[in-house]
Amino acid sequence: MKAHYIYPLILASIALAPVAQADDLSDWLKIDGFGTVGAYKGNNANAGVRVDTKQSTYSQNEWRFDGDTQASIQATLNPHGKLKAVLQLISKKDINSSHKPTVEWAYVSYPITSEIDFKLGRTVAPIYLLSDYRNLAYAQTTVRPQSEVYQVNPISYQDGATARWERKIGSGMLQLEGFFGKANVSVALGEVDLDRVKGLSLKWSDGSWAVRGGFSKYNASLTAPTVAATIKSLTALPSVVCANCSTVIPSIASLSPITADISTLGVTYDDGTWIAQTEWTKRKSSSVVISSVSAWDVLGGYRYGDFTPYVGAGRYNTDQANPGLLPGPGAPAAFKAQLNYLNASYLGVGKGDRDVFTVGVRWDFAKNLALKAQLERIKMDSPEIGASSYVQYPTSMLGKPNGFDGRVSMFTLNLDFVF
C-alpha cells in the first residue's frame, strides 16, 4: 500500500473514533486505536536519514511522508475479566516498502495470583523504558524513541511466554518480568531470526520516579546476501593475497549462529511539569556483522500549558574491534585499499558511531491529539567510511569521494492521535 493510500485511512479512523467507541461492547470487547500522520526531511544531498532501521527508504534533502506515519488498532476480549485476549495490528511502511498490517501483539493473559500475571503468545519485549508503548507515539514526549539507544535492539515483540510479578512495597511498586521465546525482524542490513530469546526486567516506580533495568540473551541468524557474498569471497582468498582471511573470517564473522546479550538501564522523572529521562544500553555479540555496541541518551522537558518544549542528546558507539585483515605479499594496491575499507566498515556493514542533539516541542492542542515538531542534529564520527542503519551514505575509502562532511539534520513534523 502506497503512502498516499494510508492517509485517508488514518483520517477516517480519527473521524470514526466516536462510532468505534459507540460500537464498543464493553462487557466483552474493547476497541482502541492510535496512529500518526508524519513528515520528515533530511538536509544533506550526500547523505540520507531514515526514522527506523526497519524501513528501506530515507530522506536525502527531500520531504517524505512515509516514516513515522502509521495506523493501528487493538482489540481486547473480556477486558474486565481475568482471562483476556489481546490483538494489536499495525500498518506502517516496512523494509519491503509495504504497509500491509502486521500483528504486533496477539496473546492471552491470566493472573495466576493477585501478584503474578502470565501471558502466552506474541507480547512486548520488556527491554527499555518505552518498550510497553514503543509504537504508541502519543504516549511519548518526542516524535519517536531516541534512535541511539533503540537501534541497539530493534525487536519490539517476542513469540513465547511472559510472566510478571508485581508487589507494592512502601510507597512504591516493584515489578519483575521474565520472558522466553523467539522473534524475527527485517532491517536495512537483512533479516534477523532470533531464537531462545530470554531475559529479565526489573522495574521500580515511586511517585514521579521510575527505574528499569534489564538483561536479555538470544541466538541469532542473519540473512544478508551482500554480507554473505563478501564473507564467502574473503574466506576463499589464498594467503598470498590476504594473509589471514581464511582463518580470521570464520572465527569472527559468523552469520549463524550468533550469540548476543543486551543490558539496559533507564531512569525517568515526571511530576506533571518537569520531565527527565536517561537510558543506557550495551550489546555484546560473538560476530562482527552484528557488532558489540553501546549507547546512551538523555532528555529533559517542561510542560507549559498545552506546550512541552524539550531537549535531548545521545551517543551511539561501536565497541567491536575491527576484523584486522592483512594483505598478503602478492596483494595488488586496489585490493589493499578494499581490505582497509572492509576493516574500517566491519566487512561492509558500515560504522554508525555518532553524536545526536535533539530539540523539539509537543503541542496538545485538542483531546487525544498532539502535534510535534522536532529537529535532530547528527554528527557521524567517520564520514569517510560509510554507514547504513539510520544514516545512509557511501564510502570515500575506495577512490570516489562521497562529499559528506559527517553532519546532517532531520526535521520531523508529526500529528499523533489515540481513540
Rounded to the nearest 5°, which phi and psi values hold at 268?
-135, 150
pLDDT for 189 equals 79
Query: Other C-beta atoms within 10 Å of 151: how many?
Result: 20
Q: What is the pLDDT of residues 110-157, one digit of tens each?
A: 999 999 999 999 998 888 999 988 999 999 999 999 999 999 988 889
Specify whether the CB–CB gap between 3 and 390 falls below 8 A. no
pLDDT for 95 equals 82
| Rounded Cα distance, 140 and 128, in Å | 13
Q: Are strands 307-318 and 293-302 parallel, antiparallel or unpaired?
A: antiparallel
For the 3-418 domain, the top CATH level (class) is: mainly beta
Question: Measured between alpha carbons, how far is residue 209 from residues 172, 234, 278 in Å?
Answer: 9, 51, 12
Q: Which residue has the cell 540520507?
A: 48
Polymer length in residues for the chain: 419
Left if phi > 0, otherwise alpha if psi is -120 to 50, otherwise beta: which for 186? Answer: beta
Local confidence band at 7 (pLDDT 50, 70, 90 cut-offs):
very low
Burial 262-274 (b: 16+ CB within 10 A, else e): bbbbbbbebeeee
pLDDT for 186 equals 85
Rounded to the nearest 5°, which phi and psi values hold at 302?
-140, 125
Q: Which residues contact 314 (CB under 8 A, 6 or more apart)?
A: 146, 147, 148, 149, 295, 296, 297, 298, 355, 356, 358
Single-letter code of the amino acid located at 135: N
C-alpha cell at 348: 561492509
Q: What is the pLDDT of residues 341-394, one digit of tens each?
A: 999 999 998 899 999 999 999 999 999 999 999 999 999 999 999 987 899 999
pLDDT for 65 equals 96
C-alpha cell at 64: 517524505
Max Cα-Cα span within the chain: 77
Nearest to 229, CA basis, from 197, 255, 247 = 255
Per-chain mean pLDDT for the chain: 91
Domain positions in the chain are 3-418
| Rounded Cα distance, 297 and 376, in Å | 13
Specify whether the CB–CB gap between 341 and 301 falls below 8 A. no
Residue 260 has pLDDT above 70, yes or no: yes
